[in-house]
Amino acid sequence: MGPLRSVFRDGKALHPWLLLSLAVSLFNGAFAQSISLSLSSGHATPGSAVELEIALRTTGTLLPSALMFTVTYSSADIPSMSVSAGAVALSAGKSIYCSPNTGSLACILYGLNRTTIPDGVAAKVHLTVAATTSNPAIVVGLNSSLASTADGLPLAVQTSGGVISTDSSPGGTGQGAGLRFVPLAPCRVLETRPEYNYQGRIGPFGPPFFAAKETRVVPLPQSTVCRIPASAKAYVLNVTLVPRGRADFLTIWPTGEDQPSVWTVRSPDGLVVANSAIVRAGPFGSLSVYSSDNTDLILDIAGYFTGSTDVPGFVYYPLSPCRVVETRSIMRPTFGPFGPPSMATGETRHFHFPSSPYCQVPSGAAAYSVTITAVPKGPLAFLTAWPTGDMRPNVSSLNSPSGRILANSFLMPAAGDSIDVYTYDETDFLIDINGYFAPDNGLTGLYYFTLPQCRVMDTTNPAFPGVFGGPVFPDNTSRTLPMPNAPFCPGIPASAKAYAVNVTALPSGSPMPYLTAYPTGQSRPVVSFLNAFEGQVVTNSVIVPAGTGGAIDIYSYRRTNIVLEISGYFSR
């Protein structure tokens, strides 16, 4: 008889000691199986009721016949809660029994049969929001989850909680007022790999890995490792996928909104990839993260945007895109601090940007908007950039364990106009700059304005008209995109001076050495922000200064389809 069977044959109400005993028994015999329970989010006004759903998803050959989970909440914000069996549980002949405690409900979903529970809504959570609550976003946790097969075999379960928004704008901050950038010491806020989670991240910030089709709510200000204020309106993140096989795409968006049809990062070929993202915060600073396939995930934070005047913030100053650093001697024969030689294994190098003889970079920057491209001489475990003078942080800026040429664009905090770069393995690399962040001069500094994440161009989709759609980019082709005229992205003003965009190249297996984006009306610069030498799907974000009429130019060296998405713009 399995460890759950003897308990499930007793239909009496459960007690905390019994649940604890059951959990210990299960953990002692647990083995790997991909099962996830995800609690939905919702919106409710104070004093009203709301219903959330617990969705079950299973991959693998072992299917659950019984489930155990605990719903946690603040009793000050939620005075009453109950849980009922969902449609798929009822169809399998299951019932639910819950044991209430202060701020939690411990539940077991089972039946006196051997029927397995299919994917779908396994349970429903019914709750009432306190009429007196002033909490704009109430976090409802889902944890302590385990499962059993019909034969009593214990199965591990991944869980993710939800958020109830109680303000008048459940989607978060919306466009709102202009925001300023606040740099942070680079910090790893989320790490799902147990062997690297030595700082003890728990809940949504730690293991286990993301199961296929899992959505996890991540309330960043609740991190116990990184100091992230609740006043943040958008986050500057570096997102690293460590797939467990194919990982078609991962999407991050503000909690409380519908999942947008955008890609934050893709890895259809299953290799480790990184991409930066500026993501608007949802209620209570929460983000929702969805993965199409099984993958580990790393989130590093380098700063945030805020409208608060309680902290010193910085505005954006665009520069004509320019290559500051180039270590390849074939491309820049002059050896020196911004040229060759290549980076050796375990080397750290300092770069004082205003001293560059190749680019005009003013002094006084708090951060730089850059693209770093690695040209490895073999596997490159990681490359890290950080402000000069600080200790090297436990973060990565770029990873290429396969030795591919890869690029990543991000906002890099600086100290004394300088950054440090460390490479774990021998590699060449390039740094291209498109702007910097500094105090507002009252005239030309640009504030950041968030937008709902939106697809501007898709050359694979016939619904996109004119220059925003097909055909595919031929070899050696430029295309002008009048961004304010994007057909499916309202809200992009003609006054925008730069855009925060995410670009995916789909070269269909043919080598595509590089893409470049630059202001319309300017000469094409000798820079790049995306490389796909092996013809792979690549996603990379970048800030692109606007040109004539608010337009930008996209140049492709070789044939490829392109998808371009926007998350915000800079203006004054």
pLDDT digits (tens, 9 = 90+) for 63-79: 999 999 999 999 999 99
Q: Is 344 exposed, middle or buried (0-12, 13-18, 19+ CB in 10 A)?
A: exposed
Does 195 have pLDDT greater than 70?
A: yes
Range of lowest pLDDT (14-28, 282-296, 535-549): 14-28
Nearest to 297 by CA among 287, 285, 283, 282: 287
Does 383 have pLDDT greater than 80?
A: yes
Task: Kindly give, in sequence order, each residue whose CB lies less than 8 Å from that of residue 183, ignoring residues fewer than 6 positions away.
Answer: 302, 303, 314, 366, 367, 387, 411, 413, 414, 437
Residue 212 near residue 317 (C-beta atoms within 8 A): no
The pLDDT value recorded for residue 9 is 34
Q: How far, in Å, CA of 313 to CA of 310, rounded?
A: 9
- Distance from the Cα of residue 571 to its chain's centroid: 25
Q: How far, in Å, CA of 562 to CA of 470, rounded?
A: 9
CA distances from 207 to 63, 69, 261 (A): 22, 17, 26
Does 220 have pLDDT greater than 80?
A: yes
Ranges in the chain annotated CATH 2.60.120: 180-306, 446-572
Task: Kindly give, in sequence order, each residue whose CB lies less than 8 Å from that of residue 90, ignoring residues fewer than 6 positions away.
Answer: none
Across 536-561, average pLDDT: 95
At 136, the pLDDT band (50, 70, 90 cuts) reads confident
Concatenated DSSP letters for 16-50?
HHHHHHHHHHHHHH-B--EEEEEE--EE--TT-EE
Q: How much is the pTM?
A: 0.75
At 27, the pLDDT band (50, 70, 90 cuts) reads very low
Hey, what are 555's tokens? Answer: 């140049």
Reply yes or no: is the peptide bond before residue 3 cis, omega within 30 of 0. no
Q: How far, in Å, CA of 505 to CA of 526, rounded?
A: 19
Supply the CATH classification number for the domain 446-572.
2.60.120
Range of lowest pLDDT (153-162, 541-550, 554-563): 153-162
Residue 407 near residue 373 (C-beta atoms within 8 A): yes
Return the C-alpha torsion angle 76, 81, 86, 92, nearest 10: 120
Hey, what are 547's tokens? Answer: 């040109």
Task: Kindly give, in sequence order, each residue whose CB lies less than 8 Å from that of residue 47, ignoring residues fewer than 6 positions away.
Answer: 128, 129, 130, 131
Exposure b/e, 253-270, CB count within 10 A at least 16 = b: bbbbbeebebbbbbbeeb
Number of other CB atoms surrounding residue 459 within 10 Å:
20
Task: Name the DSSP letter for residue 401.
Answer: T
Q: How far, in Å, CA of 303 to CA of 448, rounded?
A: 13
At 8, the pLDDT band (50, 70, 90 cuts) reads very low
Across 206-214, average pLDDT: 90
Does 28 have pLDDT greater than 60?
A: no
What is the sign of the dihedral through the CA atoms of 334, 337, 338 and 339? Answer: positive
Supply the CATH classification number for the domain 5-165.
2.60.40.680
Hey, what are 406's tokens? Answer: 């890869």
Q: How far, in Å, CA of 171 to CA of 346, rounded?
A: 44
DSSP H or E stretch at residue 91: helix 87-91
Number of other CB atoms surrounding residue 110 within 10 Å:
25
Q: Residue 405 is which amino acid?
A: I
Residue 379 near residue 425 (C-beta atoms within 8 A): yes
How does pLDDT run across 494-537, given as a tens digit for each residue? 999 999 999 999 999 999 999 999 999 999 999 998 998 999 99
Reply yes or no: is the peptide bond before residue 283 cis, omega within 30 of 0. no
Q: For the sheet with 214-219, list strands across it.
A: 214-219, 286-291, 247-254, 265-267
Does 284 have pLDDT greater than 90?
A: no
Does 157 have pLDDT greater than 70?
A: yes
Does 364 have pLDDT greater than 80?
A: yes
The pLDDT value recorded for residue 33 is 55
Concatenated DSSP letters for 407-472?
EEEEEEE-BTTEEEEEESS-EEEEEEEEEEEE---SSS-BEEEEEEEEEEEETT-TTS-GGGS-S-
CA distances from 187 to 132, 251, 545 (A): 36, 21, 28
Hey, what are 385's tokens? Answer: 């950039």
Does 83 have pLDDT greater than 60?
A: yes
At 310, the pLDDT band (50, 70, 90 cuts) reads confident
The pLDDT value recorded for residue 158 is 76
What is the sign of the dihedral through the CA atoms of 464, 265, 448 and 368? Answer: negative
Range of lowest pLDDT (10-24, 34-48, 243-257): 10-24
Q: How far, in Å, CA of 525 to CA of 522, rounded?
A: 8
Give the CATH architecture of domain 180-306: Sandwich (2.60)
Hey, what are 367's tokens? Answer: 């951060």
